Amino acid sequence: MRLNIQLHVHSRTIPRYVIRGSVHTLVVRSSIFGLHKRMNDAGCSKTELLVFVYPHDANEFLELMQQCQGRIHRFEREIDFCGNTIAVLENSSEHNDPYLCTDSIKPMYMDTIIYNHMERICLMHNFDMLIVYNKRIEQVKEDCYEVGMDCYEYITKETPHRDIQEKILRDMLYYHSDD
């Protein structure tokens, strides 16, 4: 099985219909699915949460990921940026070690989260966000898929400040206590 993902990142402003709405995420082991962007320092990466504007795009990508589970020996989540606009993620079942086990099957599901909550999560944990608004999945060969995604990128520029974290948590507490 081979899975190649190419992310076309657009630096435009995130449209209002996204900001005022909800986004759809993949959840694996009670965590939002993210990719790791390599930073300038060797061995250092920053998490980019992968979210979708449209639920059908998230569902199709979820189905493809579930097909890949147990067939790709280790799903690499580190993305390499070629220039500033294209990120590439390649995964393959080809390996030389006969004792290498396949990646374990992890339960995955789609969750819908209000955009403002996703933004708070990013601010609290210094995550970035890739917001997919257009996706193409093409089966090139029997066991080879090419995935192209057009994304907006939400970037956190500073590490979280304790006062900001406390305010966000306090607001979340008050928001949920009104229910």
pLDDT at 102 over 60: no
Provide the domain limits for residue 137: 2-177
Distance CA 101, CA 71 (A): 10
What is this structure's pTM?
A: 0.80
Give the model's confidence band at 168: pLDDT under 50 very low, under 70 low, under 90 confident, else very high.
Answer: confident
Give the model's confidence band at 92: pLDDT under 50 very low, under 70 low, under 90 confident, else very high.
Answer: low
Give the model's confidence band at 150: pLDDT under 50 very low, under 70 low, under 90 confident, else very high.
Answer: very high
Number of domains in the chain: 1
Say whether 17 sits in a helix, a strand or coil.
helix
Show the tokens assigned to 9.
Answer: 């990142």
Could you give phi then psi for residue 74, rounded to 5 degrees?
-155, 115
Maximum mean pLDDT: which of 76-85, 96-105, 133-142, 168-177: 133-142
Distance CA 69, CA 30 (A): 17
